[in-house]
Structure 1
Amino acid sequence: MFKEGSRAVGYSILGIVVLAVLTLIAIFAFGGVSQLTAGFRGETDKKNRTEGNGAFRVASYEEFFDLCASVQTAEQQLAALQEELDGKPSPERAEKIRQSMTAVKASRAESINTYNSKATQEHRVAFQDADLPYKLNVTDQETQCAA
């Protein structure tokens, strides 16, 4: 009798183990593979959305030129304002010119910071034109956008 009871307990334990193993296999087959490859699939998806996407490539390429051009536009505005200030305007007009110059300098600095930030982003750096500077400097008086 003891032998038959042991056998029944053994089969029960074996059944539980087999059921657990089958459950683990099912989890791995249907969900585990997805979990294991999530990092790889995420990297591939990111590359497809950026490097593999022609529209993104063109937009990034043009964005660097646009940002650099906005810095040059601000520099031209500053030069025009300085020229007007040098022409000895009325005190009220001179104050408005100085305020405008401050605003344009802030706008120029913002464009430079945006340009530099995007130039360091790994997924954009490949789309920066070789003729554009890698980094712009706020202290430079004149920005060169293309050779």
Structure 2
Amino acid sequence: MGQLREGARLGAYAVAGIVGLAVLYVVGVFAFGGAAWITAPFRGEADQRENTVASGEFRQTTYEEFFDLCAAAQNAEGTIEALQEERDTASETRRTHIDQSITALTTTRIESVNSYNSKAAQEHRAAFRDKDLPYRLDLDAERTTCTD
């Protein structure tokens, strides 16, 4: 019976030692970077917000980007209109080049409008769109208007 008690005592010490090492390990992980690893998602979101939304450079760039995208759509429309006018009096060879240019400019306009609308829908960018700019540009509109 004495040996059984001695064996139980040694088993208890072994279990206590393993639990103690596990606790020491957890404390060490938190003390030496585990807490940073666990809180990284929260800190990352805050850092991203501070680096973008709170950044004056981000605000200015976003503000100007909306104007640039709207102006790019308008520029493409103006060039398409000028090419269509030229097409009426152009030679057959020139008409082929004009048609290719109109197709490319139409694609450029679509990309500009889609990019504008995509950025306008992003919550962290929408606040920096000028109040005179439309919320969305109409892809099917004949003319893009860059002010309300």
Q: What TM-score, normalized to structure 2?
A: 0.85
How far off is 1:130 after superposition? Answer: 1.6
Aligned-CA RMSD value: 2.0
How far off is 1:139 after superposition? Answer: 1.1
Q: What TM-score, normalized to structure 1?
A: 0.85
> Do residues 64 (structure 1) and 44 (structure 2) align?
no
Q: 1:6 to 1:95 in 2, by over 3 A?
A: closer
SS of equivalent to 2:123? coil
Question: How many residues are matched?
Answer: 146
Give the Cα separation in 1 of the matches to 2:23 and 2:83.
Answer: 78
How far off is 1:6 after superposition? Answer: 4.1
**Paired AA for residue 103 in structure 1:** A
Q: 1:131 to 1:12 in 2, by over 3 A?
A: same
Could you say which residue in structure 2 is the equivalent of 1:19? Answer: 21
% identity of equivalent residues: 51
Give the Cα separation in 2 of the matches to 1:35 and 1:91.
Answer: 67
How far off is 1:14 after superposition? Answer: 2.2
**Paired AA for residue 125 in structure 2:** R
**Paired AA for residue 67 in structure 2:** F
Stretches of structure 2 that go unaligned for 5 or more consecutive residues are: none
In the TM superposition, 1:60-139 aligns within 5 A as 60-86=62-88, 88-139=89-140
Using the TM superposition, name which of 11-20 and 109-118 deviates more. Answer: 11-20
Q: 1:14 to 1:80 in 2, by over 3 A?
A: same
Give the Cα separation in 1 of the matches to 2:43 and 2:6.
Answer: 53
In the TM superposition, 1:34-45 aligns within 5 A as 34-45=36-47
Give the Cα separation in 1 of the matches to 2:22 and 2:136.
Answer: 59
SS of equivalent to 1:127? coil
Stretches of structure 1 that go unaligned for 5 or more consecutive residues are: none
SS of equivalent to 1:124? helix
How far off is 1:90 after superposition? Answer: 2.5
How far off is 1:16 after superposition? Answer: 2.7
